[in-house]
Structure formats: C-alpha cells, structure tokens
Chains A and B, each alone.
Chain A
Amino acid sequence: MNIAEELLGGSRLALSRAITAIENEYDNAVEIMQKIYAHTGKAYVIGITGPPGAGKSTLTDKIAKAYRAMGKTIGIIAIDPTSPFSGGAILGDRIRMSELTLDEGIFIRSMGTRGSLGGLSRKTADAIKLMDAAGKDIILVETVGVGQSEVDIVKTADTTIVVMVPGLGDDIQAIKAGILEIGDVFAINKADREGVDKVCREIEMMLDLNQEQVLWRPPVRKVIASQNEGVNELLAAIDQHKNWLSESGELSVRRNERIKTELLAILNEQIGRYILTKVTDSGKFNELLHNVEARRVDPYSAVENILKDILR
C-alpha cells in the first residue's frame, strides 16, 4: 500500500504505520516525509510539560475534550521515558485518556524517548508533521515528566503550557533557569490542594521579574484537571497566546526558525553519516585510532588528519 497517499486520504491505519516507519527509520520513511511535507503547516501545536505526576495526561485528556466539543480534530503525542538499560518502556499516558479512544476525530500515539534527553522523543517533530498532514487541527504534545532542563518542547510547539502543582519547592525554584522559562501559559493543577496560592504568587513574581518578556506576559491559570475545572479558562489563555503570536508576527518568526533548525539538523545528520562511512571505510581510521590509544597522536591532530583527506 502507498502509505503517504492513504494517510492523506484519511486512513487511520496509514497514519499509524507512517509513524512507525519514521520512528524505526524504515526504508520508506524519507519518502513518506517527502510526499506529505507540502500538506503540513496547518495544525496548531500545543505542548504540555511539567514534572512527573503534575497531571499532564489528565489535563491533556480534558483539553482534547474541550477542543473536540468545538468541532476540532485532535492528534495527541504522549511521550514516556525509555529505559536506558533495557531499551524498553512503559507508555502509560493513555490510561487517563481512555474515553478518547473511541472518538474518530482523535488520534493518540504513545512514544518512548529512545535515548533523547530533551523531554521529547527523537522523532516527535516528524510525528507531528504526519498528524498535521493527516488533517488534525490541533496537535497536543505531552512531554515526559520533566525536571528542570528538558526544554525541547519549546522548539516544537506553538504554545507551551507548563503544568505545576503545589508543594514542590520554595520560591528559589521559581527563579532558576529551565522549564519555568519556557511557559507561554502556566497551569497550576490540583488547585484544590493546600499551597496553591503560594505557588501562583511565586510564579507570578518570577514572571514579573522577567525583563525580556514584556511583549507576552504568560498568564497563570488554576485548574483541577481531574474535575475538569478551569479548563475553559485555560483554553482562553491559549487562545490569547495564539492571537498574540499571529498578530505580532511572532508565529511565522518561530515557525521559520524551527524550519531552519530542522534543515540544519537533517543536513548535519546526513553529513555525519557520509563522513562516518567514508572514514571507517578508509582503513586509515583504525591506524589513527591505535596511535591515539597509544598516545602517540592526540585526538585533535588525528581529526585534522582525517578531515584533510575528506575535505580535499
């Protein structure tokens, strides 16, 4: 079957198979991406990130339902960590989304990080494009539970929601660098718990100290995802951010930046592969390696030596 054409024609199974193909780097993966690329760029991508147990999956479920009620079609990519030891993973985000499974307008895919450290999987960006080409209006990307520095989502999503909960630390946490810097909208979940006002105040303070974000001051919204409370207000905040992005021209700036980064990454990867096969095929590599191992040659000179041959 021609996966790309069937995907564009709306086949659910073709979309699913296409994601497998790019994730496993099957032979047809590049061809699929080539065929669908012209059909991408229409979906709005929302990232949902935050620490483990903050309620990202539950909130994703509620956001999806709210957009569905407006008649939008949804793609969800839910990422969980891959074990660095076995390569296996438990992908359990669907547990909170089981009511969505029977909705024809919602497609949910779980992905393991497979060695990627930024909170996403290596192929998340391509999976987003496939869902986009398959006609999904909104794509929700739920990151792994993040600590402080897994911030790849900001390079991938149009609007990034940082989900926080009460009781995780004092206000010094709020002024550290990392995930708190990447939120376009903050959702303070489990807002029925003690300490919610304190966490809101600390985040508001952190945002007010930020000199650079005068153009967009991220709103902070309280939610109780498990009870579907505050979700409409959160959606309104996402909408405000979306409007600001398009009115200020920031949306195309960000998207173009993303395209440039992506182009460079693909180029980098291909050049890397090309050089690697050239180098290891030459036989000279092992000779140099032995010399470096014996400390007769330093690695920098060895690399210069190799590059001299390749880049002639």
Chain B
Amino acid sequence: MEKRVRVLVAKPGLDGHDRGAKVVARGLRDAGFEVIYTGLRQTPEQIVGAAVDEDVNVVALSLLSGAHNHLFPRIVELLKEKGLSEALVIGGGVIPDSDIPSLKAAGVSEVFTPGTPISSIVEFINANVK
C-alpha cells in the first residue's frame, strides 16, 4: 500500500498571475506530492469538478484578485456537496490578515501569505492531511 498525497493547485477567479502557484506546485512536487495544476481563471465549479475526478487530498487555492472572501468559501461548500468534505483546503496569495479568521471559520484550514517558506506549507499538509 503506497499512499501518495495528491494536491490540486488551482487559481480561482480572474487574476492572470500564476508564478506563485507554479513555485508552490514545484515545491510540493519536490516534497514528494503528486500535484495537479489546472491553470488560470478557473470557476469554483471547475476546481471542484477536477478535485472529484482526481480524488485529491488537498485543494490549494492561489488568489491575488481580492475575491477570496467570496470564492474560497464557495469552493469549500461545493467540495462538501460533492462528497469531498475530508479534503484539506488551504489558501495563499494576497490576502489581508483581517480576512483570515472568517476564511478559517468558513472551512479553509490555513492561509499562507507572501513570504511563507514552502517548507511550512509542506509541514502543514503532512500534519493535517487525512
């Protein structure tokens, strides 16, 4: 039995910068995870559809546009609806500290803001993945 952690790295919403998401994807690859990257400008429905088909353990959302308060909770909700409630949802990008408590209350497990070393993300996933 060789369980391998599968992570969906997704960019919801309309911003067009995915350098950060790619750096994180590469870092997670080097940590031994299987990283599925779906590209830019994905709707919550597309992200959750991919998460279902790929049976991922982690959904990592990168967002720079400011729409996180709307999109992150919507994705958590859809994941539950589709039967993936045990998937760990984490977020990153330009997210004000003051928004983090409400995102966590909505079911986002952790939010990593700019400057976070990849190793912290890897540690968090390893400690919390189901």
Contact = CB atoms under 8 A, between A and B. Distances in A.
A307 interface: no
7 contacts: A16-B52, A19-B55, A86-B29, A86-B30, A88-B35, A98-B42, A108-B50
A101 interface: yes
B107 to A, nearest CB: 19
Given A88-B29, A91-B37, A102-B46, A27 B1 contact: yes
Nearest to B46: A101
Contacts of A86: 29-32
A95 B38 contact: yes
A83 B29 contact: yes
Nearest to B49: A101
Given A24-B3, A88-B30, A90-B26, A98 B52 contact: no
A295 B62 CA distance: 58
Interface residues of A, number: 31
A40 B4 CA distance: 27
B20 interface: no
Nearest to A95: B39
Dominant secondary structure of chain A at its interface with chain B: mixed
Nearest to B37: A92
A300 interface: no
A176 B16 CA distance: 43
B1 A25 contact: yes
A24 B5 CA distance: 10
B112 interface: no
Interface of A: 12-13, 16-17, 19-20, 23-27, 82-83, 86-92, 94-95, 98, 101-102, 107-110, 112, 114
Interface of B: 1-4, 6, 25-26, 28-39, 42, 45-46, 49-50, 52-55, 82-84
Identify which of A26, A27, A91 gathers the most chain B CB atoms within 10 Å of its CB.
A91
A91 B35 contact: yes
> 5 closest Cβ contacts across the A-B interface?
A95-B39, A88-B29, A16-B55, A101-B49, A87-B32
Given A82-B34, A90-B26, 10 more contacts: A12-B53, A13-B82, A13-B83, A91-B34, A94-B37, A101-B50, A108-B53, A109-B54, A110-B36, A112-B4
Contacts of A12: 52-53
B46 A98 contact: yes
Nearest to A99: B46
A87 B26 CA distance: 12
B1 A24 contact: yes
A112 B6 CA distance: 10
A176 B34 CA distance: 34
Given A25-B1, A88-B30, A88-B35, A94 B83 contact: no
